[in-house]
Structure 1
Amino acid sequence: MQHTERHTRSSRFRHTFDARLPATPTHLAVLFAIAAATPTVFAQLQPAADATADAAEKALPAVRITASQDTPLNLNEDVSNGALGTRSQLDTPFSTTIVTDEQLQEMQPAKLGEVFMRDASVSDNSNPYNAWASYVTVRGMQLDWQNGFKIDGLPFNAYGITMPYEQLESVQLLKGLSGFMYGFGAPGGIVNYVTKKPPGSATFLGSVDVGYRTDGIWSQHIDLGGRVGPNAMFGYRLNATHEEGQTYNDGHVRRDAVSLALDARLTRDLTATFGLLWQERHSTSITSAIYTAQYPGLNLPPPVSGGSSNLSGPDQHLNTNLQWYTAGLRYNLTPDWTASLTYGFSKSFRDRNEGTFFLQNYLGDYNDFRFAGKEGHRLTFWQATVEGNVKTGPFAHQLVFGAAYQKQINDYEVNSFYDQIGTGNLYQPNTNVFYSPEGLTTFPSSDIIQKALFASDTIQLTERWSVLGGVRYTDYEQNGYALDGSTTSTYGKNGVLTPTVALMFKLARTTTLYASYVESLEPGSIVAPTYANGGALLPPIRSKQYEVGVKSEHERWSATAALFRTERGAEYPNGANVFVQDGEQIFQGIEAGADVRLGRSWTVGGDVMWINTRYQRGAANVGNRVAGAPTFVGAGYVSYAVPGVPGLRLGVDAKYTGNTEVRPAGGLRTGGYLLVNAGASYATRLAGHDVTLRAAVDNLFNRRYWMFQYADYVGPGDPRTLSLNARFDF
């Protein structure tokens, strides 16, 4: 199992340093001088306690109410596992990662790839200023933008959506197959965005922060939470953000986001919840996609900077809207049994005018194709579960039973535009212009309906041995429709079983060995318009995964490792530029990572992934490496608390991504590249309130490189970017 929860390390310093000195001009000058000279990301400082460091370490707070200590990787922190319920990462027989609110504040991410900078199993394919914002590969497999993303465990369509990371409690990643846990989905994994919730006690929470990002983007964010009413019955958490300014590629972005979480403790045993997240985002001069299917060379042209305005124009734009709502009831039937009912509805919409450059030669010449259209997705979700504990003879059982219903409606454009508008060169300004026509509208072009029953049993055989078994029974229906409402394609299958089994052994209270097997089905792709069969709806694909791993977490160090193998049906464009399903993809490899706290000031960590991939059993591409899967990825970080300046912490992160096959047909690879980020943060108190200043620079050395984005697509790496943030806690 990978470095499972490497991203929650921030809390380990929570009471280690005294940061109550006033923010003198000297201190501020030191911070921003460091930010300018050794730009930053991911550096950290935590507010301090009055006690000495030794005493503070002995009194580190628990991550969970039931935890006894705050450990480096927080393997004791809960992670959502869908139909398996919520359990600690240490007790989850799959590879997982958690990035906490504190880590998100440090990193100040603009896209999903930046969130997982320290995770070697995650490769960045994303771009903050076009529709690729949530594209990443996990263990060489791209996440499914239709089914691979959740908010508080509930589905939404993530295509083109950049999340309001400042409004999240954490970002969780379940690596690998998710068929039993969440139903249909690609085997790369599940990203679950966890929103901020009302506080458990009557303590008021409040903060406001102001941020700046290259080249002129300013943001303001407020976070308020508390409890009111008799016995603090009603809880609330409100977040609001406004962001606007000039992007690094001479475009413009404007974003407004609001999230609200409410709960009501109606009785001692009954709790009602409600949540919403709304975001409107507008970006202009978005970066064009670069398509290599027609490229004849064996080496890509010299890379251009993602900050170059040559790849965009003022006529190109991406406008998105995300609406997400949830309501639920949770009732404690007995001290050992709980029933819950959850409803969710999400609606995502995008209006885009986006260029695709069909690369023609090593000189960088291209044919400029333009897509202009509107698309949307609506998801309705119901789930009822009952979970609890029983004993049968000497065995203890943790049981989960449930039923779920999900309907996804995809709305696509009636009269979209897609055609060549000119030619150009990567190293020259793009002079082609095409503004979106008026009157673009959408219609319900397809729907996907899932009805499922699931059950799991985790049996405690002895004090050390336990076994998990679960199965999901799904009726699946997938339909395509014409503009007049007639059915153009259909696929349906009832009684689809996706099982999972796992064996776990507690080597010690802090160490778990496990072996797991899981199956999954993913919906067939909706073929992109760049292919000859654009718009076609392909049937579902079955995958299998085998994994053996270990997780161990202690007060000052943590380590994880896993061996895995995934077998997945293959999809790719053939020689006639038809996107087909043919053959199988094999992914097998190893992940390993460790973090250690050295003394009072230093923390270091490292993470590696090696993976071997190939196509097999198909009519084409047999023996080739799978497109999008780097053979090797390594990540590491160093964090240092400056003894002479209480409250100041410096940090450096680095990640090397090996060369990656671009095309399923082989013969074209991105080069390997190393990215270095550096960071600093300073925490103090002003007038009795906590104040935190952060600075972050990504791509410190301004490295130019090509990144894999999708089969046959590459994208330019982001340029060096500076982010600053000042936070004041009420």
Structure 2
Amino acid sequence: MANKIKSGAVTGSRVARQTRRKLLITLIAAATANMAHAQSDSDQPNKSMTGARQSGPAPAVSETALPTVTVTGAGTGADSYRRSSASIATFGDASLLDTPASISVITRGQLDDQQSRLLSEVVRNDAAVGDNYAPVGYYENFTIRGFALDLASSYQINGMSIAGEQNVALENKESVEILKGLAGLQSGMAAPGGLINYVTKRPADVRSVTLETDSRGSRYLAADIGALFGEQKQFGIRINAAHETLHSYVNDADGERNFASLAADWVITPQARLQFDAEYQHRQQRSAPGYQLLGGTAIPSNVSPDKLLGAQPWAKPVTINSLNLNLRLDLDLAPDWHAYVAASRSRVVIDDNSAFPYGCGYGSTCGEGGTPARYFSASGDFDIYDYRFPDDTRRNDQLQAVLQGRFDTGKLRHDLTLGASTFRRTVAQSDGVNEYVGSDNIYNPNPIVYAPSTATPDASYLRLDSRQKSLFAVDRLSFNPQWQLIAGARQVWVNERAFDISGAATRTTDKTLLLPQIALVYKPQADLSLYTSYSKGLTMGGQAPWWTENAYAFLAPTVSRQIEAGVKYDWRGQLSLSAAIFQMSKPYEYPMPDAGGFSYVQQGTETHRGIELSAAGQVSKQLRLTASLALIQARAEDTGTAAYDGHQAINVPRLRAALYAAYAVPEVAGLSLLGGWQYSGSKAATREGNVDVPAYHLFNAGLRYKTSWWGRSTVLRLSVDNLFDKRYWKDVGEYIGDGYLHLGAPRTARLSVQYDF
């Protein structure tokens, strides 16, 4: 079918009468030709000339070719905040209703309405996701279902692994997909919490520019320009670019960001399509470090989010340069068989610089009350370190080949996926500079200035070389329209080597493991599905803190397990509802106290149990929303340290909820009111569970106004986050074994204008 309709609304433009008549005739002809194939789900993507990704076999193509109809625009009015398909849990787009996993998709429309720039502003829409060491000016990390994601393997672009030590730009992303739960079958070695996948925009006839500022004077300029060309529109390119001057709410933590991306599509033949994506980002900003517990037992009080702890005039910004490349070739081999080959590279270089506040080991008040040296003193004293680690380089390379097809054996329908993947992760670091230069107090209104260390960082050297090869197979067996059995497995071969500065291997790990996944799906009716599943995963071991006996050591990979059951319902094809219950377990990693101090070990079991509820889509003609709720019990048992057993895990609230909605005002054409609410229960700030940060509510508000300037579609957006200027602790997670507390952002207003030309 050659006809294609690019999603997007053209608001306020004047179209000549003759053009409208031709367009109407073409649309009527297209609807008539496709009536027999019409689908109830309006969000199901069409196979376009530009080669949109699909799963399984290619559908039969009508011999009647109709003229191409292209409707351009930014899509500001057509996005219902709902997607009916995603690729994150499969090896191509698949219906969420038929996918036996808990998945949420944040659409382009919601990203625009919330004026999101960072992943932390995206994942707040899913109650199962939380911050886990996400300071201002540094790369962010998160938890899913209470388990911290692995920066090495838990983040993807178009289904291919990227280095997580970057703040991925959102300008060229069409959506963000979140898989909650084990993903061993999908990606091999990965954290048990799940995966986050960025889906890039594909080439289209689009020209758009966005200008934005905020209440602190930040400036933002972005352009989105694309075109389809060639006699049959077989070529397409799309360029996204952005410049941002960052005025942080933290004093002296300003920065800037430059970003550019290219997406290119080529329909080589009707059966072969090539896609290429490249993106580069330079980001530099002074990092705002977190607080630590006072005396190891008390939450700091009467502190402000605008204070930069340990501020020193010689401290430099953290600089992060990231490059992500992705190439994919799709081939239609037969009416029911499809294959693709994909290759990717992700490289991140970090110059980590900071006047870093840490502990109180050099201060005279540190020993008061038995304060451990890795915490601030009971009175708020802390030490300042000149912290410089340049040329910290992380690189992920992946190659994957997939064959998908459909066939019958008797009354059974098989949807088969076979594939092979190879993955390599390297980490190169120097031993850097981490030198004490002086001490200060969190309540001192005038920070004391010290001279920097005279030491210089040494050269970077290879610290870790992790290689993974795997073969995988998945078979979806359809017994009848009601029952499906999905059985799959990934055979993984892992070889890891860790090195010291001399190049000698300090650890070698060779591991072979079969990661199975089995699920049963029952659909009593076309818009309702129930599922249950079991899966097994493999996770990279953590890195020991510097203050342990086995400092900086990478532990061996560990095995995790999950059982899950859920129900999904598509109400009238416009509102997706889902519920899931789960249990996940993995070996417990932590610094174990012993006679000599601490040793970083894997001992005991950490088990998370929970319930998730979610909704996304169009509630009425005027109201669209996303909503989610997560109840999680996260506990460790048999750790060998009694104080860590039997209570809620660090940085995991028992209850979290999120709501975001847009209401189109009937009386004012083009005007929508926007609003959101987030709730987090109290969170343990220590592994002993004896210190909690309080629960909090956050409210956001805004509006969107669609109009026409000079005959072109224009969208004005105003948003106010943290409307009531709530003071709260957003994150009390650990980073390489040390605990930090980060204050949330104060009230922030943003104003933007998007103009399509």
Residues 1:340 and 1:63: Cα distance change in structure 2 (over 3 Å) = closer
Give the C-alpha shift of residue 426 in structure 1. Answer: 2.1
Give the C-alpha shift of residue 596 in structure 1. Answer: 7.3
Residues 1:434 and 1:462: Cα distance change in structure 2 (over 3 Å) = farther
Paired letter, 2:181: G
Do residues 719 (structure 1) and 746 (structure 2) align? yes
Please give the secondary structure, in 2, of the residue aligned with 1:330.
strand
Q: How far does the alpha carbon of each residue in 1:652-710 deviate from its partner, in whole angstroms, 9 at most, with x for none?
A: 21111011112222212211111111111111112221101111221111111123342
**Partners in 1 of 2:316 and 2:558 — Cα distance?**
35
Please give the secondary structure, in 2, of the residue aligned with 1:103.
helix
2:637 corresponds to which residue? 616
**Partners in 2 of 1:239 and 1:598 — Cα distance?**
32
Kindly indicate whether the alpha-carbon contact (under 8 Å) linking 2:135 and 2:288 is maintained by their aligned counterparts in 1.
no
Do residues 477 (structure 1) and 479 (structure 2) align? no
Paired letter, 2:111: L
Please give the secondary structure, in 1, of the residue aligned with 2:112.
helix
Q: How far does the alpha carbon of each residue in 1:162-210 deviate from its partner, in whole angstroms, 9 at most, with x for none?
A: 22112211111111111111010111110111121113xxxx2110111
1:562 corresponds to which residue? 580
Kindly indicate whether the alpha-carbon contact (under 8 Å) linking 1:219 and 1:243 is maintained by their aligned counterparts in 2.
yes
Give the C-alpha shift of residue 60 in structure 1. Answer: 10
Kindly indicate whether the alpha-carbon contact (under 8 Å) linking 1:384 and 1:402 is maintained by their aligned counterparts in 2.
yes
Say which is worse superposed, 248-257 or 365-374, in terms of deviation: 365-374
**Partners in 2 of 1:398 and 1:75 — Cα distance?**
22
- Which of these two proteins has the greater Rg computed from alpha carbons? 2
Structure 1 segments unaligned to the other structure (5+ residues): 1-12, 23-57
**Partners in 2 of 1:21 and 1:689 — Cα distance?**
6
Give the C-alpha shift of residue 522 in structure 1. Answer: 0.4
Please give the secondary structure, in 2, of the residue aligned with 1:104.
helix
Kindly indicate whether the alpha-carbon contact (under 8 Å) linking 1:306 and 1:716 is maintained by their aligned counterparts in 2.
yes
Residues 1:440 and 1:430: Cα distance change in structure 2 (over 3 Å) = farther
Say which is worse superposed, 172-181 or 527-536, in terms of deviation: 527-536
**Partners in 2 of 1:654 and 1:482 — Cα distance?**
48
Do residues 661 (structure 1) and 684 (structure 2) align? yes
Residues 1:597 and 1:387: Cα distance change in structure 2 (over 3 Å) = closer
Q: How far does the alpha carbon of each residue in 1:520-575 deviate from its partner, in whole angstroms, 9 at most, with x for none?
A: 01011122435453311101111101110011112354321111100111112223
Residues 1:418 and 1:612: Cα distance change in structure 2 (over 3 Å) = same
> TM-score, with normalisation over the residues of structure 1?
0.87
2:88 corresponds to which residue? 80
2:299 corresponds to which residue? 300
**Partners in 1 of 2:492 and 2:626 — Cα distance?**
41
Kindly indicate whether the alpha-carbon contact (under 8 Å) linking 1:607 and 1:635 is maintained by their aligned counterparts in 2.
yes
Matches within 5 A, 1:580-595: 580-594=601-615
Residues 1:217 and 1:60: Cα distance change in structure 2 (over 3 Å) = farther
Q: How far does the alpha carbon of each residue in 1:66-102 deviate from its partner, in whole angstroms, 9 at most, with x for none?
A: 89xx9966352333325x4431212111101111111
Say which is worse superposed, 424-433 or 188-197, in terms of deviation: 424-433
1:64 corresponds to which residue? 45
Kindly indicate whether the alpha-carbon contact (under 8 Å) linking 2:81 and 2:625 is maintained by their aligned counterparts in 1.
no
**Partners in 1 of 2:625 and 2:230 — Cα distance?**
46
Kindly indicate whether the alpha-carbon contact (under 8 Å) linking 2:289 and 2:308 is maintained by their aligned counterparts in 1.
no
Please give the secondary structure, in 1, of the residue aligned with 2:87.
strand
Pick the aligned partner of 1:268 from 260, 267, 270.
270
Paired letter, 1:681: R
Please give the secondary structure, in 1, of the residue aligned with 2:291.
strand
Matches within 5 A, 1:332-481: 332-354=332-354, 355-358=356-359, 359-374=375-390, 375-414=392-431, 416-428=432-444, 429-433=446-450, 440-481=458-499
Pick the aligned partner of 1:497 from 488, 499, 514.
514
Residues 1:21 and 1:341: Cα distance change in structure 2 (over 3 Å) = closer
Q: How far does the alpha carbon of each residue in 1:308-333 deviate from its partner, in whole angstroms, 9 at most, with x for none?
A: 23464441421001111122221111
Paired letter, 2:347: K
Paired letter, 1:116: V
Do residues 187 (structure 1) and 192 (structure 2) align? yes
Residues 1:377 and 1:481: Cα distance change in structure 2 (over 3 Å) = same
2:319 corresponds to which residue? 319
Do residues 149 (structure 1) and 130 (structure 2) align? no
Please give the secondary structure, in 2, of the residue aligned with 1:147.
coil
Residues 1:434 and 1:676: Cα distance change in structure 2 (over 3 Å) = farther
Kindly indicate whether the alpha-carbon contact (under 8 Å) linking 2:246 and 2:254 is maintained by their aligned counterparts in 1.
yes
Say which is worse superposed, 523-532 or 211-220, in terms of deviation: 523-532
1:708 corresponds to which residue? 731
Q: How far does the alpha carbon of each residue in 1:606-657 deviate from its partner, in whole angstroms, 9 at most, with x for none?
A: 4211111211122012213211211111222443222232111112211110
Do residues 729 (structure 1) and 728 (structure 2) align? no
Kindly indicate whether the alpha-carbon contact (under 8 Å) linking 2:177 and 2:196 is maintained by their aligned counterparts in 1.
yes
Do residues 102 (structure 1) and 125 (structure 2) align? no
**Partners in 2 of 1:208 and 1:75 — Cα distance?**
25
Kindly indicate whether the alpha-carbon contact (under 8 Å) linking 1:216 and 1:246 is maintained by their aligned counterparts in 2.
yes
**Partners in 1 of 2:442 and 2:733 — Cα distance?**
19
Larger RCO (CA within 8 A; separation ≥ 6): 1
> TM-score, with normalisation over the residues of structure 2?
0.84
2:218 corresponds to which residue? 217
1:164 corresponds to which residue? 169
Give the count of matched residue pairs: 667
**Partners in 2 of 1:718 and 1:669 — Cα distance?**
20
**Partners in 1 of 2:691 and 2:189 — Cα distance?**
32
Kindly indicate whether the alpha-carbon contact (under 8 Å) linking 2:41 and 2:84 is maintained by their aligned counterparts in 1.
no
Q: How far does the alpha carbon of each residue in 1:287-343 deviate from its partner, in whole angstroms, 9 at most, with x for none?
A: 113344x8332x412163332234644414210011111222211110111121111
Kindly indicate whether the alpha-carbon contact (under 8 Å) linking 1:180 and 1:500 is maintained by their aligned counterparts in 2.
yes
Pick the aligned partner of 1:628 from 640, 644, 651.
651
Kindly indicate whether the alpha-carbon contact (under 8 Å) linking 1:21 and 1:684 is maintained by their aligned counterparts in 2.
no
Paired letter, 1:350: I
Q: How far does the alpha carbon of each residue in 1:5-53 deviate from its partner, in whole angstroms, 9 at most, with x for none?
A: xxxxxxxx988xx96499xxxxxxxxxxxxxxxxxxxxxxxxxxxxxxx
**Partners in 1 of 2:128 and 2:254 — Cα distance?**
32
Q: How far does the alpha carbon of each residue in 1:375-400 deviate from its partner, in whole angstroms, 9 at most, with x for none?
A: 11112111111111111110111101
**Partners in 1 of 2:83 and 2:430 — Cα distance?**
45
Paired letter, 2:352: R
Kindly indicate whether the alpha-carbon contact (under 8 Å) linking 2:134 and 2:142 is maintained by their aligned counterparts in 1.
no
Matches within 5 A, 1:671-710: 671-710=694-733
Kindly indicate whether the alpha-carbon contact (under 8 Å) linking 1:134 and 1:162 is maintained by their aligned counterparts in 2.
yes
